[in-house]
Amino acid sequence: MGESLAAAFHKSVPTTDLRLTRRRLLGGGLTIAFAASPLGRKVWAQGGEEPSLLSIQRNVAGDDTGDAFQGFAPGGFVRIGAEGDVSLIIPNIEMGQGIHTAEAMLIAEELEVGLDQVSVLPAPPNEELYKQPILQSQSTGGSTSIRATWTPLRQAGAAARTLLVQAAANRWGVDPAACRASRGTVSHQASNRSATYGELVEDAAGLPLPGEVTLKDPAKFELIGTPAARVEGPSKTDGTAVFGIDAKVEGMKVATVLACPIFGGKLESVDETAARAMPGVRDVVKLDRAVAVVGDHYWAAYQGLGALDIQWGDSPNADLTTTEIFADLEHASKTGKPVLAKKVGDAVAAFASASTRVEATYQLPFLAHATMEPVNCLVHVRDGECEIWCGTQVPTAAQSAAAQVLSIPPEKVILHNHLIGGGFGRRLEADYVAQAAAIAKALPYPVKVIWSREEDFRQDLYRPAYFDRIAAGLDEEKKPVAWIDHVTGGSVLGSYLPVGLPEGALDTDAVEGAAEPPYAFPNFLVDWVREDPPVPVTWWRGVGPTHNVFVVESFMDELAVAAGQDPVAYRMALLQDSPRAAAVLKLAAEKAKWGEGQAAEGVGSGVALHHSFGSYIAVVLDIAVTPDGAVELKRAVAAVDCGHVVNPDTVEAQIEGGLLFGLSAALYNGITIEEGRVQQTSFYDYGQLRMDESIPVEVHIVKSTEDPGGIGETATVSAAPVLGNAIFAATGKRLRTLPFVPALAASGA
């Protein structure tokens, strides 16, 4: 974890050196029984399975970490049994984004097997093996998964294939270059001989690791770049998929929790009498700022929780309101000490002398994650050890959090990671694991802690609220000569880092999407004022860019209006230094037939362009606004350049889902606070797009040979600005406050 996590959200994958030294290998050879090493025993103890015959892995020495990502280490990612069964160990967590499929495709491509021939297993928690090179932790987030694994997983597959081919060549006394691997079989056409991987694996295990491996020419890819069905799709279809909330163990009870609804408040006292008298209630566990009721099943626990007589202690935030928070943000924006994010030229002087000056303020609310699967965690504490079943984006951090609560070494915590029913950054935190461990510590049996939907909203860790002041100066030709963006808000990084963020340090997430726009500005200034309200915050899908790109792209439209120019043409004129951005903007406009429709009252199209997570995306959105102010979504067209595409089906699905997710937030979502309490408690007052509001989303993928970019969050970033710009086109009303539905009503539409 650490600062590198947030910084990595906008960095590309470092180049991986294919060359290996003898020191970096396991004695220069392979180990048949991976579990023979202490590290191997620890890894597969966590996974609960014995290693298969061919497992390749380096020794861990000194401070080495992330070994499965260094050079190549097929045993970290590939296991082949004597019967020819192939298992691919996937380092990232599947939470609906299709990463198990995409990462399996990377390995299978080089291993020369089909997806139908392999089993996909989630990697067990092990920082030494699976500390990925971008986030510098065993984590899934920030649209980094494919960027981090593009080279290492292909190397793993290629290394295993090289060994198997060499084993076959040795057996037949032929040149390995004359052998061909395909669908788990090595063949030698000249002698009409062949052998399956299972038949060769024992020989391969006795060979020295190659000093380097040759990866496939992308022109010869057979899997990568083709549509592939999701490997976990069948289990989700037939109901056999196990999410964290589905986990069950013998003797398990179920608990639900109520924490102090006021930020900063603690539990003072509780009368358990009525709750303990209810059928099915087994125990009541009191924590520092929460209380849990344990029952034979969830309903008993929930009913028992409602029967408690709870007294909460005083809190300094008992009078906190949303109005007060935004007043403080605005005041800090004008009077606080800014931290410089980026400066080019003298934007202040250029703005002062500009022939046209445009200024605006933008305001964004706190946002909840609102995942379909509420927070849950099953824990069994016994005999100085702990076993956990949950879904987490940070398995080793979750392991450590439980260990700390229980005062045991992390290796005494066995964690079974499951599919996640929506993460969106919420499960980058391990607070719920620590809470469940604390509850289980007081009980002699395993307990599954499930938060109610209301608790999931009230005790979420939110996307920060922001107040931004932005200004631009235009020359006589209406081109921007000065761009000034003053960002104000809380620090996610400061909240996330165990040591916090030092005073005066820049939270790169707070300005991501603002500090590096695709446009050419001769004079440019972006800074950030930190103002942390007493509201817990963390990562939210799209992180910093969801905030900053809304401001940047909305304001770009304002400049086009001030210049009397078409929004697409205005942007295009400023993209001379960003050909990839220009290409997606041009493609989206062409496919959407931008400017070809006849203007009609209440109908409009918006456009938004940005570069984030290593990818470029432009979106055009068509909408209508009814006379009573209702927004009707009509159609979206997206063009994306995300470098090499692994699975185009996944790219399309992520653009479609991410855009609709972001449109829900832009239209309806905002966490409000009164008397220190969150007001929203479920989907009825924290609205989501319904099926009848969903729209066609056309996705056009630019063929690219660039390194892969992230895709899980790019369209979510596009949603708010493209919708705001479309609303302006339809109504002439510029909305600078999210969410749009109440803002539109307040504007008198």
Q: Is the Cβ–Cβ distance between 559 and 482 less than 8 Å?
A: no
HSE-CB of 384 using CA atoms within 13 angstroms: 2
Q: Please tell me the predicted confidence (pLDDT) of residue 636.
A: 98
Distance CA(53)–CA(74), nearest Å, equals 12
Contacts of 499 (CB under 8 A, 6+ apart): none
Phi, psi of 330 (to 5 degrees): -65, -40
Q: Is the Cβ–Cβ distance between 494 and 487 less than 8 Å?
A: no
CATH number of 336-366+462-746: 3.30.365.10
- Nearest to 341, CA basis, from 555, 528, 500: 528
- Nearest to 392, CA basis, from 245, 223, 209, 291: 245
**Tokens 């067990």, located at residue:** 124
Q: What is the pLDDT of residues 450-459, one digit of tens each?
A: 999 999 999 9
Q: Distances in Å between the alpha carbon of 554 and those of 270, 321, 615, 720?
A: 50, 27, 20, 9
Q: Please tell me the predicted confidence (pLDDT) of residue 52.
A: 33
Q: Is the Cβ–Cβ distance between 150 and 711 less than 8 Å?
A: no
- Nearest to 5, CA basis, from 151, 149, 150, 131: 131
Q: What is the pLDDT of residues 477-531, one digit of tens each?
A: 999 999 999 999 999 999 999 899 999 999 999 999 999 999 999 999 999 999 9
Q: Which residue numbers in the chain have pLDDT < 50?
A: 1-64
- Nearest to 666, CA basis, from 579, 738, 615: 738
Distance CA(652)–CA(683), nearest Å, equals 26
Averaged pLDDT score across all residues of the chain: 90
Q: Does domain 244-315+375-450 have CATH number 3.30.365.10?
A: yes
Q: Please tell me the predicted confidence (pLDDT) of residue 10.
A: 33
Contacts of 735 (CB under 8 A, 6+ apart): 724, 727, 728, 743, 744, 747
Q: Please tell me the predicted confidence (pLDDT) of residue 65.
A: 59
**Tokens 């590096």, located at residue:** 516
Q: Does domain 3-159+222-233 have CATH number 1.10.20?
A: no
**Tokens 């066995």, located at residue:** 414
**Tokens 């900063």, located at residue:** 264
Q: Please tell me the predicted confidence (pLDDT) of residue 62.
A: 32
Q: Do domains 3-159+222-233 and 336-366+462-746 have the same CATH topology?
A: yes
| Identity of the amino acid at 325 | I
Residues 235, 245, 255: CA angle, nearest 5 degrees: 160
Distance CA(733)–CA(737), nearest Å, equals 12
Maximum Cα–Cα distance for the chain, whole Å? 84
Residue-wise over 498-533: b if at least 16 C-beta within 10 A, else e?
eeebeeeebbbbbbbbbbebbbebebbbbbbbbbeb
283: helix, strand or coil: strand
Instruction: Write the burial class of residue 337 (CB in 10 Å: 0-12 exposed, 13-18 middle, 19+ buried).
Output: exposed
Measured from the Cβ of residue 493, the count of other Cβ atoms closer than 10 Å reads 25
Domain coordinates in residue numbering, the chain: 3-159+222-233, 244-315+375-450, 336-366+462-746
